[in-house]
């Protein structure tokens, strides 16, 4: 039964009933090692010897190294359960000079290194594949400067996104990046993977918002391009070498970020729609009617919401629909912004674009609605093994890809569903199965990547290539681009010690 | 006499009296060659021989090559009159394959190449220094695709900015870049110099807005990274190598750009203020009160406006003040946006932040006000020889630098004045003198650059390094960054044929 949406938009309280669990980050059952699971060959690196460990002990002290492969699950296994390495050493620098000393030593001694942030990568970008030394950035988490007039914020790469956002909020600013993993992910990892997230539609991407970085090359040389201006054209824009190269060209140690003013008013709408066609029409309308206030347009299909209901006991506040849209606006005038949103919803309802919805400008309710979208990743962890994909797809093909995969998988899959950042053409396609098998993997890959190529999509929208997608790079990239990537890798890291087996086909 | 600003903001008509000349782009008096003026040594390139010219004639036909050093002033001399080369060959490709063939041939034959867009560089980035072959992009000006739903626009690098903006406007979009030279500058040049311009505060920079580029390396290899998604993380983000490297790492041939919806309503205010302190306070207020609608904050000092009055017969619509601010908003709701602007101005007047002002939402008046700011560069050409600087400066030091230079120059200069993009901390400092002499040049440089370094500024905000600033790169950059730049140059263009004597110290 469709409950007609109240035109006057009695800003509702249904959402309050939603029940929230705390986040759970415990590691799951025993996983097989990546090298066995993915049949990958170890590079020609030296194995760790006692004198190497002694060097790191001398450099960092006893408390900032962790040894013994059996104690390091938290660092060896990725959060989603896709990959598992067998590193027996984690090192935790606190300063750029320490990062430099570590890399310089590893480079000279041909020890492979896996830089690690919050370990929330969806493509196993931040865990070792074999016995790489894990360079954990978790202790480099100082915030150095927040300038509330210019909006320039300078901090260490190991800062957790949510912590940084809390700190800048106190000064009236907002971090122009927001994603589900914010409680764990680190900014250094966000930059290294060029994370996109929920509010890219409003604030743009990290290549645009990062003012400067300090990074350490494989040989330990510190590259200081920690510039602090929006406009700064003094030579090549080197920082972009480190943004999105997933730690394979250097380790980011410090960041200068442009943070916009914290919006004074927020509005959110959670809408039910009957078809993807209506989703697209509503999006177009939102883009033109809500204009500069639009800060997020997220889509979820029915299955995505059912999953969070089943696994996390979250509840849709409006009952069941084939599609849901979350539309958020952020502005500087509470009254105008609410009026704008209400008018947009009123017309959308009148024009039969949407079937039902709730809207709110209350922070607690806004948070509740966002949890339905943001905790999808967490729910996935409780649904057997899930093949997670992250595509950029021309909008007209956005959902046909999900339908195609449903047909393709038939009874072999448990669920096939899609959600994502519609405003950025970014689809998260999910295929969950009872158990990971080679047969199912071969059924899905490279089939799904080839389909994406056929519709001129991108096989990695915001997650990066990491370990899981590296071998499919040539499906997406032109040969000339891959060739130039190899040239850069070779010149920046001739021994290949930085995050091997990631990004570039191994 | 200060005319109090009407609180009710009778949206005024004074601006109509402003008289506008047509733009003049005739070349000025005989200039000395850059090699003599700047004492620079020619690189070890081959000189052009008849068989080389025959190759280009065969490739492009008679009509697409220009020969003879005496006929090529338009291409050899920069628009401002800072530099003059002595090339005797201009080639005009129409396709990427032709660009590839040209570069491949030049690379094999060790012929230096100067890629040229609209020749509007302020640092002589686009003119030859010696006898480089001029690769003019002016015939590569096709627009390939305008997608009015996604906002993705694909076009050739030789498109003139204003033409592209007119074309996308017809589809309800706007090019997220606007600058005074828009009638002449080409997008390829804009990208190569990472142009900033007037509306960066609203739409962000080119590193954020460019989705993909196709470029040709020095050896003729075509690098296709013409991606078309806002989020696309498939390997290294190679396009950034070409954005801002001023044609020294490759020649951009095609561009995919994200264009936002054309704003439905615009408002502009032209304000008179009594001090820089008030300018800064008004800016802070605008940032927080006008929030997401703010699309430009420009500052001009009294001298800047006097110059356009004297040289171009433009007139300030509000009489004479020590400082002027142009504040523009762009939004999606005419009524809300005008109300917001009016309220902001009303309070600013009440709080004595501003002394006088005019505001308008009529397109013709908005255009008139913009001309006062945008034609400053043109006015400069009629004011003897002008040393033009383009700094990013922490806001608290923004205007003290102008005052410092006034004192430093004393009677040696004709005028010292400043204007610029306050919203981006971007100051255009100008020192005009009756005639260029070595003595005056040595009085200004490197003095001014060192002062900028002392206040942690950037010696090139949006203009790039080009030929004029290249030798000062080390004043601004850390050695490690310059070293890495040289490594990249060497690996991308081992013979150094691409735009020699530019960006990197020669």
Residue A485: pLDDT band (50, 70, 90) is very high
Find which of A179, A235, A328, A490 to mutate to test the B interface (most B CBs within 10 Å of its CB): A235
**Interchain contact, A336 vs B332, CB within 8 Å:** no
Which has the closest alpha carbon to B455: B417, B398, B503?
B398
Q: What is the Cα–Cα distance from B57 to B232, expressed in whole angstroms? A: 41
Per-residue b/e over B112-139, b at no fewer than 16 CB within 10 Å? bbbbbbbbbbbbbbbbbbbbbbbbbbbb
How far away is chain B from the Cα of A194, in angstroms, using its nearest Cα? Answer: 7
Is it the case that residue A415 has pLDDT exceeding 70? yes
CATH 3.30.465.10 fits B143-258, yes or no: yes
Closest partner residue to B459 (CB to CB) among A234, A340, A477 is A234
Q: Output the CATH code of domain B383-492.
A: 3.30.70.2740
Lowest-pLDDT range of A7-16, A110-119, A377-386, B119-128:
A7-16
Residues of A in contact with B333 (CB under 8 A): 291, 336, 340
Within 8 A of A288 by CB-CB distance, chain B residues are: 172, 261, 332
Closest chain A C-alpha to B392 CA, distance in angstroms? 7
Q: Report the C-alpha gap between B268 and B342 in whole angstroms.
A: 10
- In the predicted model, residues of chain B with pLDDT beneath 70 are 1-30
Range(s) for CATH 3.30.70.2740 in chain B? Answer: 383-492
List of residues 6+ apart from B266 with CB closer than 8 A: B295, B328, B329, B330, B331, B337, B361, B363, B366
- The correct answer on CATH 3.30.70.2190 for the domain covering B264-377 is yes
Please indicate whether, in this complex, the C-beta atoms of A236 and B263 are within 8 angstroms of each other. Answer: no
**Phi, psi (rounded to 5 degrees) for A341:** -60, -45
| Distance, CA of A36 to CA of A44 (rounded, Å) | 18
**CB neighbour burial string for B339-378, b if at least 16 within 10 angstroms, e if fewer:** ebbbebbeebbeeebbbbbbbbbbeebbebbbbbbbbbbb
Sheet holding A133-136, edge to edge: A65-67, A89-91, A133-136, A113-116
Mean pLDDT of chain A: 91
CA A247 to chain CA centroid, Å, is: 15
- CA Rg value for chain A: 23
> Could you read off the pLDDT of A175-202 as tens digits, one per residue?
999 998 999 999 999 999 999 988 899 9
Helices (H), A87-213: 96-108, 161-169, 187-192, 200-203, 206-209
Contact indicator for A85, A132 with CB cutoff of 8 Å = yes
- Which segments of chain A belong to CATH 3.30.465.10? 143-258
Give CATH 3.30.70.2190 domain extents, chain B. 264-377
Cα(B460)–Cα(B478) distance, integer angstroms: 15
- Distance (Å, whole) CA B145 – CA B155: 7
CATH number of A14-19+263-377: 3.30.70.2190
The predicted pLDDT at position A30 comes to 60
| Nearest-angstrom CA–CA distance, B446 and B40 | 17
Contact A425, B230 (CB under 8 A): yes
Q: Which CATH code of 3.30.43.10, 3.40.50.720, 2.60.40.290, 3.50.50.60 fits the domain covering B34-136?
A: 3.30.43.10
Map residue B155 onto helix, strand or coil. strand
Smallest CA–CA distance, residue A74 to chain B, in Å, is 26
Of B238, B332, B458, nearest to A291 by CB-CB distance is B332
User: Of A242, A215, A248, A190, nearest to A100 (Cα)?
Assistant: A215
Closest approach of A471 to chain B, Cα-based (Å): 11
Closest in B172, B238, B284 to A481, CB measured: B238
* Continuous segment of H or E residues that includes residue B474: helix B473-476
Residues of A in contact with B485 (CB under 8 A): 235-236, 238
pLDDT (0 to 100) of residue B30:
60
**How near does any CA of chain A get to the CA of B169, in Å?**
14
Q: Check CB contact under 8 Å for A292 and B330.
A: yes
Contact call for B231 and A332, based on CB within 8 A:
no
Predicted local confidence at residue A301, as pLDDT: 97
Q: What pLDDT score does B430 carry?
A: 94
pLDDT at B393: 94
Q: What residues in A contact B424, CB-CB < 8 Å?
A: 229-231
**Which chain B residues are Cβ-neighbours of A424 within 8 angstroms?**
229-231
Which chain B residue has the Cα nearest residue A150? B395
B461:A231 CB<8 A? yes
Q: Give the nearest chain A residue to B240 (CA atoms).
A: A240
Kindly list the residues from chain B whose CB atom is less than 8 angstroms away from the CB atom of residue A485: 235-236, 238
With CA atoms as reference, the chain A residue closest to B201 would be: A230
pLDDT in the model for residue A497: 98
| Interface probe with B: pick from A231, A294, A425, most Cβ of B within 10 Å | A231
Cα–Cα distance between B296 and B203 in angstroms, integer? Answer: 10
Question: B232: distance to nearest CA of chain A, Å?
Answer: 4
Q: For residues B213 and B5, what is the distance between their CA atoms, to the nearest angstrom?
A: 48
Residue contact A456–B244, C-beta within 8 A: no
Residue in chain A lying closest to B231 (CA): A461
Query: Which tens digits make up the pLDDT trace of B321-330?
Result: 999 999 999 9
pLDDT of B13 reads 31
Q: Percentage of chain A surpassing pLDDT 70?
A: 94
**Which residues in B lie closer than 8 A to residue A194 (C-beta atoms)?**
233, 237
Nearest chain A residue to B459, by CA:
A234
Backbone φ and ψ of A353, nearest 5°: -75, -40
Task: Determine the straight-line distance between the first and last CA of chain B, rounded to whole angstroms.
Answer: 53
Question: How many Cα neighbours within 13 Å face the side chain of A323?
Answer: 24
Q: How far is CA B256 from its chain centroid?
A: 20
Q: Assess whether pLDDT exceeds 90 at residue A204.
A: yes
Tell me the residue ranges of DSSP E strands in A259-384.
Answer: 265-273, 294-301, 323-331, 356-360
Helices and strands, number each (H, E), in chain B: 19, 16
Q: B232, A458: Cβ pair inside 8 Å?
A: yes
Pairing of strands B143-146, A385-392: unpaired
Could B236 and A485 be called an inter-chain contact, meaning their C-beta atoms sit closer than 8 Å? yes
Give the nearest chain A residue to B503 (CA atoms): A235
Token reading at A245: 């190269």
Closest CA to A112 of A83, A89, A133, A87: A133
- Residue B440 tokens, joined: 């005056």
Residue B27 confidence (pLDDT): 39
pLDDT at A291: 87
- Least Cα distance to A178 among A159, A165, A167, A166 occurs for A165
When CB atoms are compared, the residue of A230, A233, A488 closest to B463 is A233
Say yes or no for a CB contact (<8 Å) between A291 and B481. no
With contacts defined as CB-CB under 8 Å, which chain A residues touch B459? Answer: 234
Residue with tokens 């043109």: B378
Nearest to A194 among B237, B290, B395 (CB): B237
Nearest to residue B475, comparing CAs of B457, B487, B462? B457
Residue of chain B whose Cα is closest to the Cα of A220:
B480
For residues A168-178, average pLDDT: 96
* Length of chain A in terms of residues written: 506
Among all residues of chain A, which has the CA nearest to that of B214? A481
What pLDDT is attached to residue B217?
Answer: 98
Per DSSP bridges, beta strands A133-136 and A113-116 are parallel
Sequence ranges of chain A with CATH classification 3.30.43.10: 34-136
pLDDT band at A383 (very low <50, low <70, confident <90, very high): confident
Give A84-107 as a DSSP string: B----EEE--SSHHHHHHHHHHHH
The residue behind tokens 């350490």 is: A216
- Of residues A172, A230, A480, nearest to B223 (C-beta): A480
Q: What is the pLDDT of residue B37?
A: 87
Residues of A in contact with B224 (CB under 8 A): 478, 480-481
Mean of pLDDT values over A152-159:
98
Q: Which of A151, A152, A232, A333 to mutate to test the interface with B (most CBs of B within 10 A)?
A: A232
Contact A292/B421, CB-based, under 8 Å? no
CA distance B501 to B34: 11
Kindly provide the ipTM of the predicted complex, given to two decimals.
Answer: 0.92
CA–CA separation, B173 vs B150, rounded Å?
A: 10
Of all residues in chain B, the one with the smallest CA distance to A237 is B244
Given this model, what pLDDT does residue B390 score?
95
């Amino acid at each position: 039964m469709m409950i007609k949406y109240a035109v006057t938009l009695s800003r509702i309280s249904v959402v309050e009933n939603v029940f929230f669990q705390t986040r759970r980050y415990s590691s799951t059952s025993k996983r097989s090692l990546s090298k066995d699971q993915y049949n990958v060959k170890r590079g020609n690196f030296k194995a760790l010897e006692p004198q190497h460990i002694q060097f790191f002990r001398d450099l960092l002290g006893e408390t900032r190294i962790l040894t013994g492969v059996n104690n390091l699950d938290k660092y060896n296994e990725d959060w989603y359960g896709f990959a598992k390495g067998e590193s027996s050493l984690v090192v935790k620098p606190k300063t750029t000079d320490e990062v430099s000393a570590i890399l310089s030593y590893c480079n000279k001694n041909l020890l492979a290194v896996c830089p690690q942030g919050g370990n929330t990568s969806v493509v196993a970008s931040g865990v070792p594949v074999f016995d790489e030394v894990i360079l954990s950035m978790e202790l480099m988490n100082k915030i150095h400067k927040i300038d509330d007039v210019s909006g320039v914020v300078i901090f260490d790469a190991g800062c957790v996104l949510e912590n940084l956002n809390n700190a800048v909020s106190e000064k009236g600013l907002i971090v122009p990046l927001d994603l589900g993993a914010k409680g764990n992910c680190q900014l250094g990892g966000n930059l290294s993977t060029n994370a996109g997230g929920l509010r890219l539609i409003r604030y743009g991407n990290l290549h645009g918002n990062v003012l400067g970085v300090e990074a350490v090359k494989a040989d330990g040389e510190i590259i200081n391009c920690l510039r602090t201006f929006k406009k700064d054209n003094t030579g090549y824009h080197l920082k972009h070498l480190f943004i999105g190269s997933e730690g394979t060209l250097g380790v980011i140690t410090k960041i200068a970020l442009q943070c916009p003013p914290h919006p004074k008013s927020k509005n959110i709408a959670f809408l039910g729609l009957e078809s993807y066609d209506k989703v697209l029409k509503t999006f177009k309308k939102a883009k033109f009617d809500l204009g500069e206030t639009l800060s997020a347009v997220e889509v979820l299909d029915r299955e995505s919401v059912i999953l969070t209901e089943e696994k996390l006991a979250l509840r849709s506040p409006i009952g069941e629909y084939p599609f849901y849209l979350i539309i958020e606006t952020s502005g500087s005038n509470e009254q105008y912004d609410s009026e704008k949103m209400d008018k947009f919803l009123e017309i959308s309802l009148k024009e039969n674009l949407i079937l039902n919805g709730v809207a709110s400008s209350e922070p607690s309710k806004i948070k509740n609605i966002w949890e339905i979208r943001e905790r999808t990743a967490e729910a996935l962890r409780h649904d057997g093994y899930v093949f997670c994909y992250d595509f950029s797809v021309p909008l007209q093909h956005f959902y046909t890809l999900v339908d195609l995969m449903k047909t393709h998988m038939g009874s072999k899959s448990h669920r096939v569903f899609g959600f994502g950042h519609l405003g950025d053409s970014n689809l998260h396609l999910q295929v969950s199965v009872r158990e990971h098998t080679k047969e199912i993997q071969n059924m899905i890959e490279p089939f799904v990547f080839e389909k994406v190529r056929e519709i001129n999509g991108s096989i990695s929208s915001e997650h990066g290539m990491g370990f899981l997608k590296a071998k499919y790079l040539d499906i997406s990239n032109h040969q000339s681009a891959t060739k130039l990537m190899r040239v850069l890798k070779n010149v920046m890291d001739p021994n290949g010690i930085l995050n091997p087996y990631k990004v570039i086909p191994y």
